[in-house]
Structure 1
């Protein structure tokens, strides 16, 4: 049985927001990190606000629908 990985406690992530969004929507989180990093040069306030909003979105979606993405992937592989 596969252990469920937490994005917040994983030592490879700072807060796990980009990793969680990448996992939930099926893309590589490196792309989001690059976009946010480059955007910090032009408008840091907007990027920080957008990152905080994304964090709230991830928190709420994971509280309302715990493990729903993992269940879909397990059904496909089974």
Structure 2
């Protein structure tokens, strides 16, 4: 059985994958959220753990209800490059003038 590396809950380097998932969804570095949780953990650990577990439930529900569509961007790039018009001087092999 192969484990999909894109599912943040099954990765070995995350704890429930909450910060990673929120960072992916909103497009920012999840380390900033980890620092925020770590700093807040020093002042009120019960509240921070409660918020973290609440966010874990929200992230799990959002991933189950609205799964990410799989799109292979490399295929899209390859097909768009194949359809692009080529100029006369665009060749895969560039000829280099030889010295006399």
TM norm structure 2: 0.63
2:16 and 2:8 mapped to 1: Cα distance?
7
Which structure 2 segments of 5+ residues have no match? Answer: 78-100
Which structure 1 segments of 5+ residues have no match? Answer: none
Structure label with greater radius of gyration: 2
Q: Which structure is richer in relative contact order (CA contacts within 8 A, separation 6 or more)? A: 1
> Is 1:14 aligned with 2:15?
yes
Q: How does 1:1-78 map to 2 (within 5 A)?
A: 5-68=6-69, 74=73
1:12 and 1:46 mapped to 2: Cα distance?
24
Deviation, structure 1 residue 59: 0.5
Q: RMSD over aligned Cα, in angstroms?
A: 2.1
1:41 and 1:59 mapped to 2: Cα distance?
26
Deviation, structure 1 residue 9: 1.2
How many residues of Structure 1 are paired with residues of Structure 2 in the alignment? Answer: 72
